[in-house]
Structures are given as structure tokens and as C-alpha cells.
Amino acid sequence: MPELDAERLEVADTLRRALAIENELSRPQARAYVRCLQTTWQVPTIQWAERESTQQLADARRLLHAAHIFREIEGAGSARAIDCFRRTGEILEWLSRAADTLRTVIPIELLAAAAYQLGGLPAMASGLLRQIVTEHEGVALYAAFLKADFDGVIRLSAAFWNAHPDLTASDASLRLAEPGVEVDELDEEDDRVGWFFTVELVRSLGLIADSLRRGDDARLETAMAKLYALDEMAARTFSDDASLVLSLMRQVADGYKAASIYRPLIALAALNPDRTGKLVAYARDQFSRGRGILWTSQLQGLDRLLRDSSFALCTPTGSGKTLVANMALVKELLLREHDGLAPLAIYLVPSRALAGEVEAKLRSELGGEMTVTALYGGADWGITDYWLTGDEPTVLIATVEKADALMRYLGPILTARLRLLILDEAHQIVPDSGENTRVSFSDHSNRSIRLENFVSRVVTQRPDVVRIALTAVAGGAALPVARWIEGRRDAEAVGVRYRSTRQVIGVLETAPNATGRILLDIMNGRILYIRGQEQPVYLRLRMQPMPQLPAAMRNSLNRFNCLSVLWTALHLVEEDQRILISVAQEPEQTMRWFKEALELGSWAAVPRFAAPDGPDRARFDEARAACIDYCGEVSFELFLLDRGIATSHGQMPQRLRRLMTEMIERRICPITVATATLTEGVNLPFDHIFLTSLKRRSWDQETQTQVIAPLSTSEFRNLAGRAGRPGAAKGIEGMALIALPTQVSSTAPATIPVQRGQLRELRRDYERLRVSLLIEEMDADEVESPLALLLNAIQERASRLLGVDPDDFLEWLEQVLPTDISGAAGEGATDARARLADTLDELDGVLLTALDEIARAEDTAMTGARAEAHLVDLWRTTFTSTAAIQEAWLERAFVQRGRAIVETIYPDAEERRRLYQYGFSPLVGRRFEEIAPRVRELIAAATTYGEDDAEARVDVFEEIGELLAADRGFGFRVRQTDTDQALLRSWTNVLGWWMHEPEFLAPEADDLRAWQRFVADNLEFRLGVAIGAVVAQVWSTGAGDAFAVPSLAEWKATTGLPWFGFWARELLRWGTHDPFVAFALSQNLAQTREAAAERREEFDAWLNEEFDDIDPDDRIDPQLFLQWQGSLSRRERVAAADGPEAVQLTGTNGRRQRYSVIPVENGALIRWLDPAGFELARSDDILGEFPTRRIGNDYELRINPRETAVHRTFSATSRQ
Amino acid sequence: MAIALFQWAKPMHTCEPPTEVIEEWLASNGKIKGTYGHLLLEQQTATDEDLIAAMRPYFESAHLDAREYFHRQIAIDLHPDADAPGAHARYPGCLPSTARRGLFGEVMAGMMTEAFQGQFVGGHEWRIPIFLFREHADVEAYLWDLARNPARTRQIFGRFGSDFVGLSLNDAGEVVRFIAGEAKWRQQLTKSAVDSLMLGKWEEDEETGERARSGRGVWFEINRDTPIPHGLRQLQRLLELRDPAGHQAAILSIDQAIILDNAPPLPRTNLILIAGNGACGRKALDVLIRWEEAPEEYTAPHDLQVVELILTNGEALIDGLYSTLWQGGE
């Protein structure tokens, strides 16, 4: 290191510290950003002088110079250079978006995009460049290059060659460079050096783009050498700005080369060279999807994947962690040698909605190589579960609940096949520390403990199973999750701590008779103005004020506020913004308010929604049909959908939820009203999120008090992080805005003081959030963990309620039975003692499950001593043990209670096995066991279900349901509200409506959600679980062999049940009494239940034709459904792949035998050009023989004694 | 074909100006008043082979760096059948004559600065470690538009950089002052040509129809240039590439000048060199820019040195030089 390098670094760092610290904006920078936002929103801007622009530009140049010094001395990966590049990108982006006049002097957008690329923020680069329209073809070409849009680079360079055919001759460049040689179009006085330089630059960029996407390293090297040489020449001969752009492009190209997906994939292929071809094809396909250049976090993830097995990847939303997961699947399922059982991966997702999203993504990329299937629910085997019998590598995508249920049912075979466990959104292992979590333990509804328990069981049994945790970034638990997943205290998460989008948090101020304005507070965790010292930063919206609302509406401040949000959203849609209105609770109320407002005469002028044309129209119609099907013609959901407003909440039937999500994804519905369940782990393209409340309220029947739960900052963060996804939204930043009224809305003297109080409270809520958001920017090192929280809850309550001395706690815990604590244990009672008993039962469930699973796997009797030894092992694999330092008593309590389970609490091994298989907590399971035989009898008796009428069919469910209706342990549970209690009393009405029994009345629009909730909680879930538990156990008993694989052919013989047993859960899920309808919907053979029912005739006709002696169960035999489906005429496949196209060589002697070429069409003539712009061959396109010739495909010119022809070697599939 | 990245040392500009020949060739009249210097150089002997031969080494030295990079760039042929670097072009000989005249002006700026530094304002010692040749203004039009568009005479982005940058170094090798400027060749140095150059071309007001100078000439550019010209950063980059060890103190002092807010400003001298043939009827000692004191158009706070280089049949010199550079082999 030259002796002055240290001083150079110090000079550069002085500037970095002054201008480019990640979480600090200088005041001028904050002002520049505010001005940019105001310009983007076309609202009045702050005062701004030209010299401020000049100063910002000068700062950007200086930062680039500092970045240059850092890279020169510290290397291309210099973190300090990255800081400088990022801030440069921001400064220039803000100037650019503020339409600054400097833009006419230098190509600011190109510089900004290059700086973002070099700062490791490619999405910001492309997000910015997408907003730029340029009339200059050169600028367009460089922009495409800086966006990593290689297809675009090739398209634009092809256009250039088409416009200058003289330049495509083999010797065109040499002639240009040769003094004295005349060149067409060029006068003596033209600057032929300049023109030559430009032509060579286009050649290099085209060749780099093509070589990158083909993975052709040899030609890439040549093209890069040329680009280097051009850069060196530019530094000498061009003005600073031109040479700067070129120099940055050259560095960006270096970055592309280093980050190409081909590199890690070829390294992976070393594990199994036979698979190289597949991996290379995969890499090419990723380029075609615009994902061929890896993000830093992906590179790091793949690097870890190559070196080690388990790790946690911590990376922001939208930065492509799915790719790392995909490669883990490829590595563990496809590249590893395996004999016998095909390998299996379980991909755990936090919600069923996400299971669908992940399934679609994985299937589109890996579906050809492995079976990818999402399991949406149920403990038993469903029609879509064909994976089990497959001898192909398989990925199961499931929620932890489903995975857990499967494990109880098919544990041995799953465990034997399992190679890889992927945990998506793994930070959900960390429970909230609030009272709700304690209640969720006693309700047996806590997810984090289920996740912890499931993973540690798997790891204890199969320590060699590779684990990969994917986790979000801000305020996260990356470090503890990493320690857990790797099982080492010194583990660290892989990935980068940065935001992939810019997030702005602020307030939408609402007031009667006034246009709303947006107050901007925080950008990426930094304040935008200093309170009390600087002017607040406003975006004053330009739209008509909302007309005065009728008294009934404005007398509720909340309602006024919600409607102001809707009014604002409807007008922002006109500017192509996509908006989520996030509702804390009771979405049905907001939906009704919206409907009633939209029906007001004074709202007639709001911008109208037009249903889409083209392919989206069919999707919209399908969603609409499903909405009518499941919600009814008069529902709020339909009314709003017809106005372009999608709705979603956790209790919505799944099919409708998926379709609603599609309406958002495809940007058909510009506005969405939803609860937080919509966005859990799911990426949807919203520009802005409005929140109407920062609290949830509920009523505690026990204490007769209102329970107010503020939105946690982590929930808010998760929500805010969904706004402004790079590439998906129009603007670069996403805004999360809390709607706050600035004035009371009521004019009634009695109401005004009440509203004033509410107003103050809303302000306080926001202030609390704002302050804690600024404080909680840091990552947590120590976090809550599920088992610790559970054990602490037991200990604390035992002490408080029963006076158990902490010193005596372990002794107490060794012997106490839940039923000793409360006579209502296991019955879902809500008094404190019952809750303690149920919390203990939850712990017993964790222990019993772990122990019985081991006993089953080892096929030996469990003793107290063995239990202790196993639990000591198991404890070490828990999040609680590895994630943070814990008190020693926790482990002792865990182990000793486990020993007691075997020795004294549930000493009967047979019973333990049954309780394990039911899947309830043990005490609840014991009580369930009393009715289980009766459930089984009812199922077994349903032999005529196939021919019964609707009423008789629904009666079967009703009879089973009656066994559950009165029980609060395993049975139906509703909230203590009058509405819900009334619903429970008349639950058979809900059942009849849901199962689509004719004549059953649908709920009023206002009641719809309460009915849906009852269906989701009690019919789909609790009734479904009860039936599933019985069926699963019957199957296990019948199968005998733990490794038996269920198959349709043997299902009836094994269980001895009629097909009704197979279908019952599917029927509850789809809301139909007819298995055929469930089948048709699940196989996408119909869009609505009615349409599916209509197709039954087709099936019946086929059945009558094919078979004689049809008995009732044949009419619902899934094997026959499948046979019938197979008989349907298949959709005609699109024309087969094109053959090679014969060509005449024009610009090569063909001695290299193979040449990469791109097609340039000129009338009927196709000129086949080398990507550097030299024509190599020609062909005629008389009959359009090669109809799918596209710039996104790869073509190769092959010359050998048999042929001189162009082959298509890669075909880009069309995507939307 | 693997091509290594180029990190060559050496081809710095090291050739001394041919002082004796210059003194014989040019009559010099210099005047310095305060921060303004004016130097009139008038050709007094005819251009001949000896003059050209004497100046050739300096020109070859000045062009050496750019020539190497130009050739290397050209040698990389992207045609898929090309398998060895094949160079044919000869820089700068391959340039059109206008470009060669521009280059000539830039080299002369360096040569005159080195040769006459004693008569320049401030009396500083000047060195030109490496020459920038940034005469390809048109390239930017090609570059941004990907087309040869005669209608667009000026590039769409970017201002012209300083044509020429030289340094004054202290004993420690640090930059203590720099000289930056414009070097312009005009075939006939008439008043009108010089006014167009210095004050901008004639423009007609669309409403009044009155003609006036646009105001965007050399004075405008030189007055509005940033305190540290971008050319200095480019020069630094060449030093980093060519001689990072030998010039590390200079490199560091340029970093400081560019980056630090509170660094003492790097003193600057502006240079304007106008070269060309004297206009018809020109008398000896006639000047194009007044010499008594700095013209009022000049508003920048830095020292200003004007050099007028009045030649007789300058084209013969230029063509004579450029057609014979490197004729004796590399």
C-alpha cells in the first residue's frame, strides 16, 4: 500500500462522514428530498435556489470521487464506497425527480442509476430509470444497461445496427479507424474518432449483454477488455461528464460480471456435473426473468449455500430471497446423491395465502425438476396430495400447523425422506411479550411455540437435515434466528441490512371541508424536519375537498376519518397510485361505510372505475363470480369490487381471498381494503398504505373491561414495508400514512367535546408510534422466546393464583395435573385458573408430542429416564435455548415435566400414542376421545352419501357438529359478543348456508363477516380438525406399517370408511356438500360452486356410460373423478418448437463452427448479427417460418458439413 | 482470448520543450500587471524541416499516452472471427485536419507554458505530467444520440472541459497551484473570429431581429468554471494509472482539493492560448486581446495568462508535424 493511501482514505472518509452516513441526512439533503417529493406529487414546493442544486451536484461529484478513492484502495467491495455511492444515487435521484434544470446539462439519471448499482441498490436504479423517458437513443441504451435490462440493450443495439447497416460489415470498424479510407456517410470534417468510439461502445455493450445472459465468459472477457479500453480513452479525450458516465458503466459492468448467476450455479454444479446443463438452463431463464444479476444478499446466501449447510438469510422484502431458497432446493434435492426414497423438502410459510404464492413461484421455476405442492390444511390426505406416492424429489409448502399435522399422520416416511427445511419469515418464531401471547398459550393457538416445537423435533430426530431460515430485516431477530438455525452461539445471519425500498412515514391530515394534506415525518428511519425548529414538511394534495357528510356519518369521527381516506385514495388512483387501506379490525364496518358513502349523491363525481379489458377481464369476471358465489349479490364485497376496490380479511373463504389477491397483484383493483392478514409475508404492489387506527379494541367478558391493544411497532413496520416495492409501484418510495383528523367532524354541540377527546387520543397514538419507530431502529440481540414465555407464564400464574413459592415451583410442576388446578381444564374456560390449567396443558402437549414422536421413530417403549435424556437433547435444539441466554431453571422445568408426563401424568403409552395422533393438547385430546368413536360411527354410516340429497348430506355434518357444538375445548368457540353467541345457538343455519344447501338463507351484508368467521374458526377449522383426527387415526390403525404410503387405491380398504371420510374436510373447505364440486374447484375445472355443480351432469353421464352397477359411493369416488378428468379432451398444445433455419453466410467464413447470433429483421430479410453488430449470415423469412423470433431468445449459427443453419437455443417464455 | 488489464507505467510526458529553437522561431513580448499576464508570440522565421524535426520529439511525447490507449482500444476487434489484436490505425495521424489543429493548440499550450513560464504571470514553475486531449466535443453528440446528427451542433449534455491542465509542484511533490485553460486554433485571427471565440457567435433576437453575440464564448466558460476544474480529476486519474507511486503526493493533494470543504483553496491560473495565422494587414505587435490589463469580460478571481501565438502559414507546420509523427518507428 503506497504510503499516502491512509491519508487518501482519511480525506475520503471526512466527506463520507459529513455527507453519506446511512441513517443521517444533512439538512440540505433533507430539503432536496422534500422538494423532490413535492415535485413528484405536483404540489407546491419549498423555496429552492439554483445554487442549492449546484451545491447538491457538487456534493454528488465529490462523493463519487470519495467512492473512487475507497474502491481504489479498499477494493470493489468497500463498504465505505457503497455508502458514498448510495448517497450519490439519492442526491442525483432527488435532483432528477425534482425536474431540476441541471438535468439538461448533465445526464443525471444515468449517473444516479450507476451510483445506485454500485451502491448495491439495483432496484433503486431501475425504479428511477423506469420513470425516465428520453428522446436520445444513446441515453436509452445506457439506461437499459444500467437497469441490467439486457434484453433491452440487445433490442436497442439491434435497432442501431438496423439503422446503420454499413456498420455491420466485417471490416466496418477497421475502415472507420483507418486513416485515408473513405467511409460512407462520413465527411472528411466529421469527427470519425468520435463516431468510431460510439460505434465501438454500442458493440461492446451489446456483446456484454448477450454474453452475460448466455454465460459466455470468453466473449464477455473480450467485450470487457474493449469497454476498459474505451473508458481509458474517454478519460483522455472526453469531457468529464461523458467520461464519468462511461467509467461508471464500466464499473457497473464489472459488477454484473461478478454477480452473474452463472458463477454460483456452475460452482454448485460441481456437486453433480451431470446436472450442469439443467443449472445453466436455469441461469439463462433467470436472466430472461430479469434476475440474472444477483443482489449482494443473494450472492452471500449462495456463497453460504456452497460452503455450509444451515444458515439464516436476513434480507429485505423484494430482494430475492426466494432464489436462495430455490437453490437450496436444487442443491439438496437434485444435486445430492440419494438412493431409495426420493428426497423431500418442507417449506414452512406463515400463512396459507403465502403457501399459494410460494407454490406458484416455485412451480414456475422448478416445476419441471421436482414436484412442488402446497398443502393448505387438514391432517389427512387430500386429492392434491399425490406427492406422497411420487418417487420424484418433492417440495411441500405448508404452514407449520399443516406440517405438524402431517408429521403426526405420516411422520416416519416424512422424516425418512426429509433433507431440507426452509423457514420463511422465520422471525415469526419470536412471540410478542404481551398478554395476548399468554392467552394464546391457553387457547392452544400460539404459532411461535408450534414452530419452535416442530423444528426442534425434526432437528432432534434428523440432525443432518439442512435448515435455511429466511427472515426480514428491520427491527428483526436475525441474530437469534441465526443462532437457532445453525445451533451455534457465534452464528451470524447472512445478508445485508438495508431497505430495498424507501419508506416514508407520515400523516394524512383530514378535516371537514378541506383538502387533505400529507405531513411527512420519517424517511428510512431518519426525520425529515426537526420539530419545533423547522417548518413541517407538507404535501398539499390537489383535489376537491370531500363534500360535507350527512350528520349520521360525520357524528362519528372515526367514520369521517375513514371516508376522508377513501376520498383521498379515489383521487390518487387517477395518478396511477395503488393504495392499501389497512383496517385494524372490523373490516365489515369500514366496507359498509365505504359502500354508503359511494352511494351518496354528492360522491357521484368521484373518479369511476372501469373493469379491465383483455386477459385481465376474465380474471376480474372470475373474481366477481366467486364474490357472488361466496358473499352474495348484495354484499359489500361485490359492491366495492365493482368499483375497483378489493377486499380481504382472514376469514374470507380461501378461494375468494386468492382471487382478491390476484386483483391486487395484477393491478386490476387500484384500491384495497384489508386487515393485516393480507400482507403477512406477501408482496403486493402498493404505493401507499393508509391506516385509520393504531389500536385494536376488544371487550373482556371476564373482567368486564375494554382491552386496548396498540399496534406494535413491529406490526407497523411489517405493514409499512409493503409499500413501494421496487419495480412494482410507480413511485420509488412507499408511504405509510396514518390518517388523523385535525378538526372535529361533527357539528352537534353534544358530540363535539367527545370528538375533541378522540382527536387528542389519535394524536397521542401517532406520537407514541413515531417516537418508538425512531428509537427501535436497531436490531435486537436478545428477544423473547416461546418456551421461556410459556414456562414463565406458568410459573408466574402458579405463584399468583395458587401461592406456589418460586423455590417450590419445580417440585410442584413435577406432579400437578391440569385438572387439579381447575375443574374446567381443557374446556376453553376463560377464568384465570382454567387458563393456567390450559397453559400447563399446552406445555404437556409440547412434551408429549416430542416424546411420542421419538418413541414411534425408535419403536421402543419410553421410560422416564429415556424421556429425560431425549428432552435434554431436544432442549438444545429449541429457539429458547439457543437464541438467548436463559435462566437455568427453564431447562430443568422442561425436562422434569417431560419425565413426569411419561411416569405419572400420562403413563399409558397407548394413550399417549392416540393423544399424539389426535393433535390436540393432551387434556383436550382425552376429552375428545370420548366422542371420537361416535364421530367415526357417523362417518362410517355415511355409505349412501354419494346419492343422498343435499339435506341428508348436510345432516351428516350437523350430527357430527352437534358433538362439538357444546364443547369449548375441542369444540366450537366464539367470542363473547351477543352476535357471536346468537350465531353459536343457530349454528346449523350457518352450516346449511356454507355447505350450499338449497333454501338456506344467506346472511345480511352486515352479518356476513361474523358468519364467515364462524365458518373459518369452527366449521373449517374445529369441525375439520375433529373429523381429520378421527380419519387419520383410523387410517394409521388400519395401515399397521408406519412407513405405509397412503394411496387412493387402498384408502377404502385401509380405513374401512366410505369415501365421505376422505372428502369431509375438503367439503368444509370449499363450502359444498358435493365432493364433485370440491373436486372441480380444486382442479380448476370450474370457477364457482354453481358452475362446478353443473358439470356434475357431465361426470354422471360419463359414469353411466362407462360402468354398470354403480353404487352410491362410486358417485364420489375420487379415483373415478380423476379418470373422468383424464378423459376430457386436452387443450391443444401450442405449435411445437421451431426447427433450425437454413441461412447463407455473409460475414464469416464459419471456421468457428458455432456463433451466437441475434436476429435483425428488415422486411422479408433476416440478418443474423453477432451481438457486437457484425452481420454473419442472412436468411429469408418468406413464410414466417420462424414465427417466434424474439430478441429475448438465444439463437446459434451452426456451420458443419450437414448444415449451415440457425438454431434457437433458448426460448423466453412469455410473462406478464 | 484473454486480455490483461492495462497498468503500464512510464509514458508520462517528459520531453523538454526545444527552447533554443523556439526562441529563434518566435519573438516574445510579455507584460504582467498584477494578476494578469499577456504574452505575444510572433513567428519570426519560416517554417522548415528543421523546425518540424526539432519540435517532433515534444509532440510525440505529448501524444504518447493517448496514442497508446487509442491503439490498444482499436486493437480489440470484436468480430467473432478476430483472434489476434490487429492494429492499423495510427493516432493521431488518422484524425481529420480540424481535429489535428485542435490537438496542435493543446500541445502548444503545454509547450508555451513550459518554455515561457518565466514570463507567465506569477512566475510559477509549471509541469505537464501528462496531456489530456479533449477536443472531441462532437463525440458526445454521437454518444447520446447514437446518430450523426448535423442539426445538433452542440452536445446535449455536458459543458466543454478545460482543454489543458498543468501543475506546479513543491519539493514534496504536492500540487501547490494549477494552470487550466483553453487552447484555440483559428486559421485567420481576425477580430471577428476572435470575438466569436471569446464572446460567442452572433444570434438574432427572434422578436426584435437584433443581432448580438450570444455571450457563450471562452470568457463565459472560463468565468463559470468550477473552482476545481473537472479536468484536474481526469488528470489525477491518469496519474493514478500511469505513475501512482511517483505522483502520490500530487494525487493526495488533488484529493484534498476536490473533496475537503475546509481545505485551503488550490490556487489557480487560467490560461487562454489563441493560435493561428495573423489576419491580413496585421502589424507587428498588434494584439487581439488587450495587454495593458485584464479585459473586463474576465470576472473570475484567478490569475489570468493570455498567450497569443501568431503564426505564418501555421497549417504547414501542423500538417508537417502530424504527417511525420512516429514515422521513424515507435
- What DSSP assignment string belongs to A570-638? HHHGGGT--EEEE-SS-HHHHHHHHHHHHTSGGGTTSPPP----THHHHHHHHHHHHHHHHH-TT-HHH
Within 10 A of A1067 (CB to CB), how many other CB atoms are there?
27
* A-proximal residues of B, 187-246, CB under 8 Å: 226, 230-231, 233-234, 237-238, 240-241, 244-245
For residue B258, the surrounding DSSP H or E stretch is helix B248-259
pLDDT for res A1193: 92
B271 at A interface, C-beta within 8 A: no
Average model confidence (pLDDT) across chain B: 87
Question: Residue A330 phi/psi, 5° resolution?
Answer: -60, -45
pLDDT for res A704: 77
User: Rounded distance, CA A1033 to CA B287, Å?
Assistant: 109
- Residue whose grid cell is 393504531: A694
* Contact between chains at B161 and A1170 (C-beta distance less than 8 A): no
Weakest mean pLDDT among A99-113, A871-885, A1187-1201, B151-165: B151-165
pLDDT band, residue B136 (cuts 50/70/90): low
pLDDT band, residue A1215 (cuts 50/70/90): very low
- A466: which 3 cell numbers? 439442512
User: Rounded distance, CA B204 to CA B130, Å?
Assistant: 41
Average pLDDT for residues A252-279, to the nearest whole number? 93
Helices marked H in A41-171: 50-74, 79-97, 108-118, 122-130, 137-146, 150-163
Please answer whether residues B305 and B272 qualify as being in contact, where contact means their C-beta atoms are separated by less than 8 angstroms: yes
* Contact between chains at A7 and B66 (C-beta distance less than 8 A): no
Residues of A within 8 A of B180 (CB-CB) are none
Q: From the CA of B58, how many Å to the nearest CA of chain A? A: 18
B144 at A interface, C-beta within 8 A: yes
Q: Fill in the DSSP letter of residue A670.
A: S
Please answer whether residues B228 and B245 qualify as being in contact, where contact means their C-beta atoms are separated by less than 8 angstroms: no
User: Could you please report the per-residue DSSP string of A1051-1115?
Assistant: HHHHH---HHHHHHHHHHHHT-S-HHHHHHHHTTS-SSHHHHHHHHHHHHHHHHHH-SS--GGGG
A1097 at B interface, C-beta within 8 A: no
- For residue A951, the one-letter residue type is E
For residue A1184, count CB atoms less than 10 angstroms from its CB and return exposed for 0-12, middle for 13-18, buried for 19 or more.
Answer: exposed
pLDDT for res A94: 93
Three-state DSSP state, A8: helix
Looking at the predicted structure, is the pLDDT value of residue B92 above 60?
yes
pLDDT for res A60: 96
Residues of B within 8 A of A1173 (CB-CB) are 78
Residues of A within 8 A of B1 (CB-CB) are 218, 221-222
User: Rounded distance, CA A519 to CA A164, Å?
Assistant: 53
Three-state DSSP state, A737: strand
Beta strands A1194-1200 and A1154-1162: pairing type? Answer: antiparallel
Residue to substitute from A59, A110, A111, A191, interface B, most B β-carbons within 10 A? A191
Residues of B within 8 A of A225 (CB-CB) are 3, 5, 76
pLDDT for res A186: 64
Residue that wins the pLDDT comparison between B294 and A732: B294
A177 closest CB neighbour out of B94, B248, B261: B94
| Closest C-alpha to A825, from A969, A722, A718, A627 | A969
* Contact between chains at A1151 and B81 (C-beta distance less than 8 A): yes
Residue to substitute from B5, B65, B78, interface A, most A β-carbons within 10 A? B78
Residues of B within 8 A of A226 (CB-CB) are 73, 76, 78
Residues of B within 8 A of A185 (CB-CB) are 148
| Closest C-alpha to A898, from A857, A867, A860, A861 | A867
HSE at residue A998, side-chain half, CA atoms within 13 A, is 6
Residues of A within 8 A of B66 (CB-CB) are 233, 236-237
A62 at B interface, C-beta within 8 A: yes
Most distant CA pair in chain B: distance in Å? Answer: 64
Residue that wins the pLDDT comparison between A91 and A1036: A91
B163 at A interface, C-beta within 8 A: no
Write out pLDDT tens, residues B280-315: 999 999 999 999 999 999 999 999 999 999 999 999
Residues of B within 8 A of A58 (CB-CB) are 226
User: Rounded distance, CA A941 to CA A933, Å?
Assistant: 12
Nearest CA in chain B to A68: B237
User: Rounded distance, CA A608 to CA A619, Å?
Assistant: 20
User: Rounded distance, CA B35 to CA B45, Å?
Assistant: 31
Within 10 A of B170 (CB to CB), how many other CB atoms are there?
13
* Contact between chains at A1174 and B79 (C-beta distance less than 8 A): yes
Q: Residue A527 forms beta bridges with which residues?
A: A522
pLDDT for res B1: 34
Please answer whether residues A360 and A435 qualify as being in contact, where contact means their C-beta atoms are separated by less than 8 angstroms: no
pLDDT for res A725: 62
Residue to substitute from B63, B157, B224, B228, interface A, most A β-carbons within 10 A? B157
B11 at A interface, C-beta within 8 A: no
* Contact between chains at B238 and A160 (C-beta distance less than 8 A): no
Average pLDDT for residues A838-856, to the nearest whole number? 95
B88 at A interface, C-beta within 8 A: yes
Q: Please tell me the pTM assigned to this model.
A: 0.88
pLDDT for res B3: 36
pLDDT for res A1186: 58
Length of chain B: 330
Residues of B within 8 A of A214 (CB-CB) are none
Residues of B within 8 A of A19 (CB-CB) are none
pLDDT for res A1133: 41
For residue B85, the surrounding DSSP H or E stretch is none
- A376: which 3 cell numbers? 393448505
Q: From the CA of A231, how many Å to the nearest CA of chain B? A: 9
Residue to substitute from B63, B138, B139, B165, interface A, most A β-carbons within 10 A? B139
pLDDT for res B86: 58
pLDDT > 90 in chain A, percent? 56
Looking at the predicted structure, is the pLDDT value of residue A956 above 90?
yes
Q: From the CA of B142, how many Å to the nearest CA of chain A? A: 6
Looking at the predicted structure, is the pLDDT value of residue A1132 above 50?
no
Write out pLDDT tens, residues A311-363: 998 877 667 788 899 999 999 998 887 777 789 999 999 887 778 778 888 88
Q: Fill in the DSSP letter of residue A677.
A: G
Taking CB atoms within 8 Å and a gap of at least 24, the contacts of A454-457 are A454/A348, A454/A400, A454/A403, A454/A404, A454/A407, A455/A421, A455/A423, A455/A877, A455/A879, A456/A850, A456/A874, A456/A877, A456/A878, A456/A879, A457/A407, A457/A849, A457/A850, A457/A853, A457/A874
* For chain B, the helix, strand and coil percentages under 3-state DSSP, each to the nearest 5: 35, 20, 45
Looking at the predicted structure, is the pLDDT value of residue A780 above 60?
no
* Contact between chains at B233 and A201 (C-beta distance less than 8 A): no
Weakest mean pLDDT among A686-695, A1060-1069, B212-221: B212-221
Weakest mean pLDDT among A114-118, A977-981, B169-173: A977-981
Average pLDDT for residues A1133-1157, to the nearest whole number? 81
* Contact between chains at A197 and B143 (C-beta distance less than 8 A): yes
- A1196: which 3 cell numbers? 446459434
Helices marked H in A147-180: 150-163, 172-177
pLDDT for res A1130: 53
pLDDT for res B231: 85
Average model confidence (pLDDT) across chain A: 88
User: Rounded distance, CA A259 to CA A292, Å?
Assistant: 8
Average pLDDT for residues A420-437, to the nearest whole number? 87
Write out pLDDT tens, residues A555-612: 999 999 999 999 999 998 887 789 999 999 899 999 999 999 999 999 998 988 999 9
B287 at A interface, C-beta within 8 A: no
pLDDT band, residue A405 (cuts 50/70/90): confident
User: Rounded distance, CA A847 to CA A857, Å?
Assistant: 15
* Contact between chains at B96 and A170 (C-beta distance less than 8 A): no
Tell me the count of A-B CB pairs closer than 8 A.
233
User: Could you please report the per-residue DSSP string of A1034-1063?
Assistant: HHHHHH-STT----HHHHHHHH---HHHHH
* Contact between chains at B89 and A226 (C-beta distance less than 8 A): no
Residues of B within 8 A of A221 (CB-CB) are 1-3
Helices marked H in A776-918: 786-802, 809-815, 818-821, 832-858, 864-876, 879-883, 888-900, 909-918
* Contact between chains at B140 and A242 (C-beta distance less than 8 A): yes
B72 at A interface, C-beta within 8 A: yes
For residue A923, the surrounding DSSP H or E stretch is helix A922-941
Q: How far apart, in Å, are the Cα atoms of B239 and each of A2, A234, B254?
A: 14, 15, 11
Residue that wins the pLDDT comparison between A860 and B317: B317
